[in-house]
Amino acid sequence: MSAPFVALEGLDKRFPGHHAVRGIDLQIAAGEFVAIMGPSGCGKSTTLRLIAGLDEPTGGDIRIGGRSMRGIPAFQRDTPMVWQSLALFPFLTVAENVAFPLRMKKVGAAERRRRALEWLDRMGLSGMADRDIAQLSGGQRQRVAIARSLVTQPSILLLDEPLSALDAHLRVRMQTELSRLHKQLGITFVYVTHAQSEAFALADRIVIMSDGAIQQVGRPQDVYREPVNAFVAEFMGMNNILRGTVRGASANRLAVETPLGSFDVPAKETRPVDSQAAFVIAADRIALAAAGAAGGLDATVIGLEFVGSTQTVFVETASGHEFRIQKQQHEIEALDLAPGRQISLSWEPRHAWLLPDSR
Protein backbone atom coordinates (compact mmCIF):
# COMPACT_ATOMS: atom_id res chain seq x y z
CA MET A 1 0.00 0.00 0.00
CA SER A 2 1.18 3.51 -0.75
CA ALA A 3 1.27 6.02 2.11
CA PRO A 4 -1.95 5.45 4.05
CA PHE A 5 -4.47 8.25 4.34
CA VAL A 6 -5.58 7.25 7.82
CA ALA A 7 -3.21 5.46 10.16
CA LEU A 8 -4.02 4.21 13.63
CA GLU A 9 -0.77 3.66 15.50
CA GLY A 10 -1.01 1.68 18.71
CA LEU A 11 -4.32 3.41 19.35
CA ASP A 12 -5.47 2.77 22.88
CA LYS A 13 -8.49 3.85 24.92
CA ARG A 14 -9.21 2.99 28.52
CA PHE A 15 -12.35 3.98 30.34
CA PRO A 16 -12.57 3.47 34.09
CA GLY A 17 -13.04 -0.27 34.49
CA HIS A 18 -13.11 -0.91 30.77
CA HIS A 19 -10.29 -1.26 28.24
CA ALA A 20 -12.24 -0.33 25.10
CA VAL A 21 -9.46 -0.25 22.49
CA ARG A 22 -6.25 -2.19 23.07
CA GLY A 23 -3.45 -0.58 21.13
CA ILE A 24 -4.66 -1.25 17.60
CA ASP A 25 -2.79 -0.59 14.35
CA LEU A 26 -4.65 -0.01 11.11
CA GLN A 27 -3.88 1.68 7.82
CA ILE A 28 -6.54 2.92 5.46
CA ALA A 29 -5.75 4.09 1.93
CA ALA A 30 -7.21 7.25 0.43
CA GLY A 31 -10.52 6.50 -1.24
CA GLU A 32 -10.86 3.14 0.42
CA PHE A 33 -14.14 1.84 1.87
CA VAL A 34 -13.34 0.09 5.13
CA ALA A 35 -15.94 -1.56 7.32
CA ILE A 36 -15.21 -2.21 10.98
CA MET A 37 -17.22 -5.10 12.35
CA GLY A 38 -17.60 -6.92 15.61
CA PRO A 39 -20.07 -7.74 18.33
CA SER A 40 -21.43 -4.91 20.46
CA GLY A 41 -18.89 -3.65 22.97
CA CYS A 42 -15.93 -4.75 20.84
CA GLY A 43 -14.60 -1.20 20.53
CA LYS A 44 -15.62 -0.49 16.94
CA SER A 45 -17.70 2.58 17.74
CA THR A 46 -15.09 3.87 20.18
CA THR A 47 -12.48 3.54 17.43
CA LEU A 48 -14.64 5.67 15.16
CA ARG A 49 -15.17 8.25 17.90
CA LEU A 50 -11.42 8.35 18.49
CA ILE A 51 -10.84 9.08 14.81
CA ALA A 52 -13.43 11.88 15.00
CA GLY A 53 -11.87 13.24 18.18
CA LEU A 54 -15.04 12.73 20.21
CA ASP A 55 -13.06 10.65 22.67
CA GLU A 56 -9.46 11.28 23.62
CA PRO A 57 -7.12 8.29 23.24
CA THR A 58 -5.20 7.15 26.30
CA GLY A 59 -2.34 5.95 24.10
CA GLY A 60 -1.06 5.81 20.53
CA ASP A 61 -1.84 8.22 17.75
CA ILE A 62 -4.08 8.80 14.77
CA ARG A 63 -2.70 10.26 11.55
CA ILE A 64 -4.95 11.64 8.89
CA GLY A 65 -3.23 12.70 5.68
CA GLY A 66 0.09 12.25 7.49
CA ARG A 67 -0.83 14.73 10.21
CA SER A 68 -0.98 13.65 13.83
CA MET A 69 -4.39 14.29 15.38
CA ARG A 70 -3.00 14.43 18.90
CA GLY A 71 -4.54 17.40 20.74
CA ILE A 72 -6.61 18.48 17.76
CA PRO A 73 -10.20 19.03 18.93
CA ALA A 74 -13.08 17.37 17.13
CA PHE A 75 -14.32 20.57 15.53
CA GLN A 76 -11.02 21.15 13.74
CA ARG A 77 -10.66 17.66 12.28
CA ASP A 78 -13.07 17.73 9.37
CA THR A 79 -14.00 14.10 9.92
CA PRO A 80 -17.79 14.26 9.59
CA MET A 81 -19.78 11.35 10.87
CA VAL A 82 -23.18 9.88 10.07
CA TRP A 83 -24.73 8.85 13.38
CA GLN A 84 -26.82 5.84 14.17
CA SER A 85 -29.31 8.23 15.78
CA LEU A 86 -28.78 10.59 12.80
CA ALA A 87 -28.39 13.46 15.36
CA LEU A 88 -30.29 15.90 13.17
CA PHE A 89 -31.07 19.20 14.87
CA PRO A 90 -34.82 19.20 15.51
CA PHE A 91 -35.06 23.00 15.83
CA LEU A 92 -33.57 23.63 12.38
CA THR A 93 -35.17 23.09 8.99
CA VAL A 94 -33.85 20.55 6.53
CA ALA A 95 -31.77 23.14 4.66
CA GLU A 96 -30.50 24.69 7.90
CA ASN A 97 -29.38 21.27 9.06
CA VAL A 98 -27.43 20.67 5.88
CA ALA A 99 -25.97 24.18 6.00
CA PHE A 100 -24.92 23.86 9.65
CA PRO A 101 -21.27 22.87 9.01
CA LEU A 102 -20.97 25.75 6.53
CA ARG A 103 -22.38 28.14 9.12
CA MET A 104 -19.69 26.93 11.52
CA LYS A 105 -17.12 27.71 8.84
CA LYS A 106 -18.53 31.24 8.57
CA VAL A 107 -19.69 30.77 4.99
CA GLY A 108 -22.11 33.54 3.96
CA ALA A 109 -25.83 32.90 4.22
CA ALA A 110 -26.57 32.95 0.48
CA GLU A 111 -23.68 30.64 -0.35
CA ARG A 112 -24.70 28.31 2.50
CA ARG A 113 -28.19 28.07 1.19
CA ARG A 114 -26.99 27.48 -2.37
CA ARG A 115 -24.71 24.64 -1.37
CA ALA A 116 -27.27 23.07 0.94
CA LEU A 117 -29.89 23.08 -1.83
CA GLU A 118 -27.36 21.59 -4.21
CA TRP A 119 -26.76 18.68 -1.85
CA LEU A 120 -30.45 18.21 -1.13
CA ASP A 121 -30.97 18.04 -4.88
CA ARG A 122 -28.24 15.49 -5.19
CA MET A 123 -29.80 13.35 -2.45
CA GLY A 124 -33.21 13.47 -4.11
CA LEU A 125 -34.68 15.85 -1.55
CA SER A 126 -35.53 18.80 -3.81
CA GLY A 127 -38.43 20.78 -2.45
CA MET A 128 -37.94 19.61 1.12
CA ALA A 129 -35.50 22.37 2.07
CA ASP A 130 -37.81 24.33 4.32
CA ARG A 131 -39.55 21.45 6.04
CA ASP A 132 -39.07 20.49 9.65
CA ILE A 133 -37.09 17.37 10.38
CA ALA A 134 -40.18 15.90 12.05
CA GLN A 135 -42.04 16.01 8.74
CA LEU A 136 -39.59 13.67 6.99
CA SER A 137 -39.68 9.90 6.68
CA GLY A 138 -36.89 7.75 8.05
CA GLY A 139 -35.21 7.37 4.68
CA GLN A 140 -35.40 11.10 3.98
CA ARG A 141 -33.84 11.90 7.34
CA GLN A 142 -31.04 9.50 6.56
CA ARG A 143 -30.35 11.41 3.33
CA VAL A 144 -30.36 14.72 5.17
CA ALA A 145 -27.83 13.35 7.63
CA ILE A 146 -25.58 12.20 4.80
CA ALA A 147 -25.94 15.49 2.94
CA ARG A 148 -25.05 17.39 6.10
CA SER A 149 -21.87 15.35 6.52
CA LEU A 150 -20.75 15.82 2.94
CA VAL A 151 -21.62 19.46 2.34
CA THR A 152 -18.14 20.64 3.34
CA GLN A 153 -16.52 18.29 0.82
CA PRO A 154 -14.49 16.33 3.37
CA SER A 155 -11.89 13.80 2.35
CA ILE A 156 -13.19 11.22 4.81
CA LEU A 157 -16.63 10.16 5.97
CA LEU A 158 -17.26 8.20 9.15
CA LEU A 159 -20.44 6.16 9.43
CA ASP A 160 -21.60 4.67 12.72
CA GLU A 161 -24.19 1.97 12.00
CA PRO A 162 -26.04 4.46 9.82
CA LEU A 163 -28.63 2.07 8.43
CA SER A 164 -29.59 0.15 11.55
CA ALA A 165 -32.67 2.29 12.18
CA LEU A 166 -34.13 1.65 8.72
CA ASP A 167 -36.37 -1.20 7.63
CA ALA A 168 -34.94 -3.95 5.45
CA HIS A 169 -36.21 -2.54 2.16
CA LEU A 170 -34.86 0.96 2.77
CA ARG A 171 -31.60 -0.43 4.05
CA VAL A 172 -30.83 -2.08 0.74
CA ARG A 173 -31.70 1.08 -1.17
CA MET A 174 -29.49 3.22 1.06
CA GLN A 175 -26.70 0.69 0.69
CA THR A 176 -26.79 1.18 -3.06
CA GLU A 177 -26.90 4.92 -2.56
CA LEU A 178 -23.86 4.89 -0.27
CA SER A 179 -21.96 2.73 -2.71
CA ARG A 180 -22.77 5.16 -5.54
CA LEU A 181 -21.72 8.15 -3.41
CA HIS A 182 -18.45 6.49 -2.52
CA LYS A 183 -17.62 5.87 -6.17
CA GLN A 184 -18.61 9.38 -7.24
CA LEU A 185 -16.77 11.22 -4.48
CA GLY A 186 -13.73 8.97 -4.30
CA ILE A 187 -13.19 9.80 -0.62
CA THR A 188 -12.40 7.47 2.26
CA PHE A 189 -15.35 5.83 4.00
CA VAL A 190 -14.95 4.23 7.42
CA TYR A 191 -18.09 2.30 8.20
CA VAL A 192 -18.92 0.71 11.52
CA THR A 193 -21.56 -2.00 11.46
CA HIS A 194 -22.53 -5.28 12.96
CA ALA A 195 -24.40 -6.33 9.82
CA GLN A 196 -22.33 -8.65 7.66
CA SER A 197 -24.49 -8.10 4.61
CA GLU A 198 -23.78 -4.33 4.65
CA ALA A 199 -20.07 -4.80 5.12
CA PHE A 200 -19.86 -7.41 2.37
CA ALA A 201 -21.91 -5.36 -0.06
CA LEU A 202 -20.02 -2.13 0.48
CA ALA A 203 -16.50 -2.53 1.79
CA ASP A 204 -13.20 -2.95 0.01
CA ARG A 205 -11.79 -4.36 3.21
CA ILE A 206 -13.31 -5.37 6.49
CA VAL A 207 -11.79 -5.18 9.96
CA ILE A 208 -13.01 -7.65 12.54
CA MET A 209 -12.69 -6.47 16.14
CA SER A 210 -13.25 -8.27 19.38
CA ASP A 211 -12.66 -7.15 22.94
CA GLY A 212 -10.85 -3.99 21.85
CA ALA A 213 -8.41 -5.75 19.53
CA ILE A 214 -8.31 -6.28 15.76
CA GLN A 215 -8.72 -9.96 14.93
CA GLN A 216 -8.41 -9.83 11.17
CA VAL A 217 -8.25 -7.36 8.31
CA GLY A 218 -8.88 -8.32 4.70
CA ARG A 219 -11.14 -8.43 1.69
CA PRO A 220 -14.62 -9.66 2.69
CA GLN A 221 -14.39 -12.91 0.76
CA ASP A 222 -10.94 -13.67 2.17
CA VAL A 223 -12.06 -13.12 5.73
CA TYR A 224 -15.07 -15.28 5.03
CA ARG A 225 -13.17 -18.17 3.47
CA GLU A 226 -9.97 -17.93 5.47
CA PRO A 227 -10.67 -16.75 9.02
CA VAL A 228 -7.57 -16.50 11.18
CA ASN A 229 -9.11 -17.86 14.34
CA ALA A 230 -12.20 -19.44 15.85
CA PHE A 231 -13.61 -16.03 16.85
CA VAL A 232 -13.61 -14.72 13.30
CA ALA A 233 -14.85 -18.04 11.95
CA GLU A 234 -17.78 -17.96 14.35
CA PHE A 235 -18.46 -14.26 13.89
CA MET A 236 -18.68 -14.65 10.13
CA GLY A 237 -21.27 -17.32 10.77
CA MET A 238 -22.03 -20.36 8.67
CA ASN A 239 -18.71 -21.93 9.56
CA ASN A 240 -18.49 -25.33 11.20
CA ILE A 241 -15.50 -25.64 13.52
CA LEU A 242 -13.89 -28.97 14.30
CA ARG A 243 -11.14 -29.36 16.90
CA GLY A 244 -8.71 -32.19 17.32
CA THR A 245 -5.13 -33.36 17.63
CA VAL A 246 -2.55 -33.53 14.87
CA ARG A 247 -1.71 -37.19 14.26
CA GLY A 248 0.36 -36.93 11.16
CA ALA A 249 1.89 -34.17 9.04
CA SER A 250 3.11 -34.25 5.49
CA ALA A 251 3.84 -31.54 2.95
CA ASN A 252 0.81 -29.25 2.79
CA ARG A 253 -1.32 -31.69 4.69
CA LEU A 254 -2.28 -32.57 8.27
CA ALA A 255 -4.16 -35.54 9.57
CA VAL A 256 -6.35 -34.27 12.41
CA GLU A 257 -8.07 -36.66 14.75
CA THR A 258 -11.34 -35.31 16.07
CA PRO A 259 -14.10 -36.93 18.15
CA LEU A 260 -15.90 -37.43 14.83
CA GLY A 261 -13.05 -39.24 13.19
CA SER A 262 -9.82 -38.43 11.42
CA PHE A 263 -9.79 -35.80 8.68
CA ASP A 264 -7.35 -34.59 6.09
CA VAL A 265 -6.79 -30.84 6.27
CA PRO A 266 -4.68 -28.76 3.86
CA ALA A 267 -2.04 -26.74 5.66
CA LYS A 268 0.27 -23.96 4.56
CA GLU A 269 2.62 -24.56 7.46
CA THR A 270 3.49 -27.76 9.18
CA ARG A 271 2.41 -28.51 12.75
CA PRO A 272 4.05 -30.77 15.34
CA VAL A 273 2.37 -34.12 15.90
CA ASP A 274 0.16 -34.19 19.01
CA SER A 275 -0.43 -30.42 18.90
CA GLN A 276 -3.97 -29.07 18.96
CA ALA A 277 -5.55 -27.99 15.69
CA ALA A 278 -8.89 -26.51 14.64
CA PHE A 279 -10.30 -26.24 11.16
CA VAL A 280 -13.48 -24.98 9.62
CA ILE A 281 -15.75 -26.18 6.85
CA ALA A 282 -17.97 -23.52 5.40
CA ALA A 283 -21.67 -24.35 5.56
CA ASP A 284 -22.06 -24.11 1.78
CA ARG A 285 -19.28 -26.61 1.15
CA ILE A 286 -20.80 -29.62 2.82
CA ALA A 287 -22.43 -32.16 0.57
CA LEU A 288 -25.50 -34.10 1.64
CA ALA A 289 -26.40 -37.64 0.67
CA ALA A 290 -28.81 -40.33 1.77
CA ALA A 291 -27.90 -41.95 5.08
CA GLY A 292 -25.22 -44.63 5.02
CA ALA A 293 -23.29 -43.23 2.04
CA ALA A 294 -19.69 -44.45 1.99
CA GLY A 295 -17.15 -42.11 3.60
CA GLY A 296 -19.91 -39.87 4.92
CA LEU A 297 -20.60 -38.68 8.42
CA ASP A 298 -23.97 -39.82 9.71
CA ALA A 299 -26.19 -37.27 11.34
CA THR A 300 -29.81 -36.51 12.17
CA VAL A 301 -31.65 -33.49 10.84
CA ILE A 302 -32.80 -31.35 13.78
CA GLY A 303 -34.11 -28.28 12.01
CA LEU A 304 -34.53 -26.35 8.78
CA GLU A 305 -34.50 -22.66 8.05
CA PHE A 306 -35.46 -20.94 4.82
CA VAL A 307 -34.13 -17.61 3.66
CA GLY A 308 -35.40 -16.96 0.18
CA SER A 309 -34.15 -19.72 -2.04
CA THR A 310 -31.43 -20.68 0.41
CA GLN A 311 -32.00 -23.32 3.00
CA THR A 312 -30.01 -23.89 6.15
CA VAL A 313 -30.08 -27.41 7.48
CA PHE A 314 -29.19 -28.04 11.11
CA VAL A 315 -27.96 -31.55 11.82
CA GLU A 316 -26.50 -33.36 14.80
CA THR A 317 -24.17 -36.35 14.87
CA ALA A 318 -24.67 -39.23 17.25
CA SER A 319 -21.98 -37.73 19.53
CA GLY A 320 -23.87 -34.45 19.74
CA HIS A 321 -21.78 -32.29 17.39
CA GLU A 322 -23.92 -29.81 15.49
CA PHE A 323 -23.40 -28.82 11.85
CA ARG A 324 -24.96 -26.12 9.74
CA ILE A 325 -25.27 -26.75 6.04
CA GLN A 326 -26.34 -24.18 3.53
CA LYS A 327 -27.77 -25.23 0.19
CA GLN A 328 -29.86 -23.85 -2.62
CA GLN A 329 -33.41 -25.03 -2.43
CA HIS A 330 -33.24 -27.03 -5.65
CA GLU A 331 -30.04 -28.81 -4.60
CA ILE A 332 -31.65 -30.64 -1.74
CA GLU A 333 -35.21 -31.08 -2.83
CA ALA A 334 -34.49 -34.68 -3.81
CA LEU A 335 -33.36 -35.54 -0.29
CA ASP A 336 -36.78 -34.78 1.15
CA LEU A 337 -35.45 -33.46 4.43
CA ALA A 338 -37.45 -33.30 7.62
CA PRO A 339 -36.49 -33.20 11.28
CA GLY A 340 -35.60 -36.66 12.55
CA ARG A 341 -34.44 -37.92 9.14
CA GLN A 342 -31.00 -39.57 8.92
CA ILE A 343 -28.52 -38.06 6.50
CA SER A 344 -24.89 -38.35 5.51
CA LEU A 345 -22.45 -35.42 5.30
CA SER A 346 -19.18 -35.12 3.46
CA TRP A 347 -16.82 -32.47 2.15
CA GLU A 348 -13.84 -32.36 -0.08
CA PRO A 349 -10.64 -32.21 1.98
CA ARG A 350 -9.46 -29.11 0.03
CA HIS A 351 -12.41 -27.17 1.39
CA ALA A 352 -11.33 -27.58 5.01
CA TRP A 353 -9.53 -24.48 6.28
CA LEU A 354 -7.00 -24.85 9.06
CA LEU A 355 -7.25 -21.93 11.47
CA PRO A 356 -3.79 -20.33 11.64
CA ASP A 357 -4.50 -19.53 15.26
CA SER A 358 -5.87 -22.86 16.49
CA ARG A 359 -6.44 -22.04 20.15
Q: Which residues bind to another protein, rule: CB under 8 A?
A: 15-16, 18, 20, 41, 45-46, 49, 52-57, 69, 71-76, 78-81, 83-85, 87, 89-92, 100-101, 103-105, 148-149, 152
CB-wise, 86 or 181, nearer to another protein?
86
DSSP letters along 134-166, please? GGS-HHHHHHHHHHHHHTT--SEEEEESTTTTS
Least distance CB 272 / another protein (angstroms): 42
Least distance CB 306 / another protein (angstroms): 37
Least distance CB 78 / another protein (angstroms): 7
Residue 231 DSSP symbol: H
CB-wise, 211 or 257, nearer to another protein?
211
Residue 253 neighbours by CB under 8 Å, 6+ apart:
264, 265, 266, 267
User: By the 8 A CB rule, do 281 and 351 touch?
Assistant: yes
Residue 350 DSSP symbol: G
Phi-psi category of residue 159: left, alpha or beta, with phi > 0 → left and psi -120 to 50 → alpha:
beta
Least distance CB 124 / another protein (angstroms): 22
CB-wise, 49 or 285, nearer to another protein?
49
Least distance CB 41 / another protein (angstroms): 7
d(CA 155, CA 153): 7
CB-wise, 164 or 328, nearer to another protein?
164
37 CB neighbour count, 10 Å cutoff: 28
Closest alpha carbon to 249 in 227, 231, 268, 271: 271
Least distance CB 15 / another protein (angstroms): 6
CB-wise, 38 or 57, nearer to another protein?
57
CB-wise, 91 or 306, nearer to another protein?
91
Q: Which class for 125: exposed (0-12), middle (13-18), buried (19 or more C-beta within 10 A)? A: buried
Distances 295 to 261, 322, 331, 341, 345 between C-alpha atoms, Å: 11, 18, 20, 19, 9
